Chains A and B, each alone.
Chain A
């Protein structure tokens, strides 16, 4: 189909321009300076053991984050998907909340909770008769803890979604072939979940690799690549930071390739259609009791940071110092948000920019889905890879790359000045969201009956009419689910925003940062709570079936 081929090239070109091109410019910048090509900065990087140490830390920390987050998230998904106990539904939704806890705020909440003078620390200290916790929330252990906490939710959500689709007859087949429950789990259920677990692992790896707040706040002397980049920038050593950015991008790319290989070429789509197993009601009182206890314990521990954030948002400035519990409560922080236009503005900004970014990503994903799944254009493999590529680019790297690319006017090589305009942040959100949305929408397209599209065409519907009246309504669940997650992510984004915001586009996360600079921790927490509520509302809309 000639037309499909043309638009296929066009979409591939647009995606390459938005994703590959900026990164390529950064990489080129790492071997170039005002006087021309040079390997001097690269050599300096390669011969510096500190840099290697930081790079190695980034890699192993990310791998460990994947392992830890998986260890929490996968069993949790099984508990909530397969066991029936009192409170399962509501807790099952609540434990997904870390997905909407903005990184910066989440880290602060963690500090208030588990820091040495934090709430848990004081309780433990009080029990042991000291005024402070007997631990320090510091170093790689603390980073891993924060990562595991904020990223298990990827494994939890993806595994639950996968489990809901596993054909129960697969499991029965394994049982009837003489396999125990344990053997079935490892030989059938988990292998069947490989695409979902693989996707969660990739997302976790990339998020951990690009994570900045946690290493910055808890790392202390423990260096990773993201903090190296910022340190170099703050030191005015632009060339070093560019080389470091390129190195991080390279590691991310290698990671993507390896994960793709693990996910394998074998299609694991179910051969037949089947019904998912229903949650098992436990009849034995002991089993039932322990499932209930397990579910509740998980939920309470995982929701403590949210509760802490809420608590902090209700405390007047400077009143909670060495007491175990705060002494006063106030709604003043929230009133300040509503009363001062200057403080309300970032909320509005974040919402419209996240919405535009999400809509843009949805449009690209729909286009990609149509070309890749329905038209099966020749470039379909490349287009699909391109849509997932932004995952392989840590947020900081993408932001720096965009800032580099779009601060120069050179239309003949596809560069315009967008830095400082209203367009740059929605654009950045859109690019970062393309993988999430495209993943969901492409899967949705694959479940569509191709005959429906043809039926619409045979009834004389035009191409646009078909898309709007048939495809979009049928894809609604996929569009909503992907869109909601993307919207929530963009709403809380910090790493990209901090590089690219302007006065007119300052988002919530920047205002939180600025409130923190002013020591207005209550205001920062109140912003965090509002952000969480909007995101949670979006997620509720997105996951309603």
Chain B
């Protein structure tokens, strides 16, 4: 093993021709935020070369699992906390409590100090603002089931999306709270399927379809919609009045990370107030830290902080039962909700 390691390290060193020490980040956060993190972190650590791979958060988990014997990444940056919970239970993460841990709400703490949330990502109802005026848009979950939205709703394929799984999980949890049974939630999802024009395989296709008005409404996460807005796309959002699930978007150090010291430094930097504000201003992520001065937040963040009603979520239940729910949905609900897109 050591022999191979040596060879590997040697090759890696050769690949990294400028001699800087590489720090590998797996993340679903996208080019913009990752470039920002890379630039700012490298400015403070000139001897470090931050390398990031952008992929879905489910993919990160999958990859970290398959690389268990030869971990390629140091930090897992981003994704709903229940995925981190699964990784922690499979011993894929290293416990590390950052100095800023006390500044985030306790619900954003991972059990055993394996992960901590850095952003709070609310789910929203988003729409094409060229096609709809704000007063036409349904401002709560149940309203999207109204007949006038039949065949007008686009949904990101929930199998591969942590955001959608969270929204679907919220629906089922609400049903469970009201009736004690999953049936009520499934029924709601069945009606949603009936309204759904199409399932998009990735966010890009979702944006594209929304832009081309194949549907005018979608259920999606806030930062993506704001990013698209900045690009000039006619997207806007409303916050559901009855409450919306707020995804605890976490960060963790991968077990077997080759640069644990740097990984810790990176986690510290991501959670720093300075970077929290920077990201809020440039990449539309709502800081998880409660001690970020309200005035330093951009307008949208102030508005969301004020208006948002956080849905109480049982993340443990979602982590345990989510797969079974999604499996049921995939087999018994998808495409069976009525006249919708699917056959």
Binding site for B on A (CB under 8 A): 50, 111, 116-117, 131-132, 136, 138-139, 216-217, 220-222, 230-231, 233-237, 317-318, 321-322, 403, 407-409, 416-417, 419-422, 499, 502-504, 506, 514, 516-521
Contact = CB atoms under 8 A, between A and B. Distances in A.
Given A220-B343, A421-B8, A317 B231 contact: yes
B88 to A, nearest CB: 13
A138 B201 CA distance: 13
B343 A221 contact: yes
Contact of A220 (B24, B212, B232, B335): B335
Given A117-B213, A514-B55, A517-B204, 16 more contacts: A116-B214, A132-B214, A233-B62, A235-B326, A236-B61, A236-B86, A237-B327, A318-B231, A407-B66, A419-B66, A420-B72, A503-B52, A503-B72, A514-B31, A517-B202, A518-B32
Contacts of A237: 323, 327
A517 B52 CA distance: 14
B341 A216 contact: no
Contacts of A506: 53
Contacts of B71: 420
A419 B233 contact: no
Contacts of A230: 159-160
Contacts of B30: 517-518
Contact of A417 (B51, B69, B228): B69
A518 B54 contact: yes
B341 A138 contact: yes
A407 B326 contact: no
B232 to A, nearest CB: 6
A222 B232 CA distance: 35
B203 A222 contact: no
A252 B61 CA distance: 29
Interface string B200-229: 011111011101111000000000000010
Given A139-B343, A235-B327, A517-B203, A322 B213 contact: yes
Given A503-B24, A517-B54, A409 B212 contact: no
B51 A503 contact: yes
Interface secondary structure of A, over-half rule: loop
Contacts of B342: 138, 220-221
Contacts of B326: 235
Contacts, number: 126
The 5 closest A-B pairs by CB, nearest first: A221-B335, A221-B342, A117-B212, A420-B70, A420-B72
Given A221-B343, A235-B326, A502 B31 contact: no
B68 interface: yes
A354 to B, nearest CB: 18
Given A422-B11, A519-B204, A321 B199 contact: no
Given A231-B330, A318-B233, A417-B69, A216 B62 contact: no
A318 B211 contact: yes
A321 B212 contact: yes
Given A514-B54, A521-B208, A235 B201 contact: no
B86 to A, nearest CB: 6
B78 to A, nearest CB: 12
B26 to A, nearest CB: 9
Interface in B55-88: 55-56, 58, 61-62, 66-72, 86
Interface string B319-331: 0000100110011
A318 B212 CA distance: 10
B43 interface: no
B233 A117 contact: no
Nearest to A217: B201
Contacts of A116: 214
A111 B201 CA distance: 12
Contacts of A409: 1, 4, 69
A238 to B, nearest CB: 8
15 contacts: A117-B209, A220-B199, A231-B330, A236-B86, A237-B323, A321-B212, A407-B69, A407-B70, A408-B69, A409-B1, A420-B71, A422-B15, A516-B202, A518-B32, A519-B208
Contact of A322 (B212, B228, B323, B341): B212
B204 A518 contact: yes
Given A403-B66, A421-B70, A514-B54, A235 B202 contact: no
Max chain B C-beta neighbours (<10 A), residue from A322, A504, A516: A504
B74 to A, nearest CB: 11
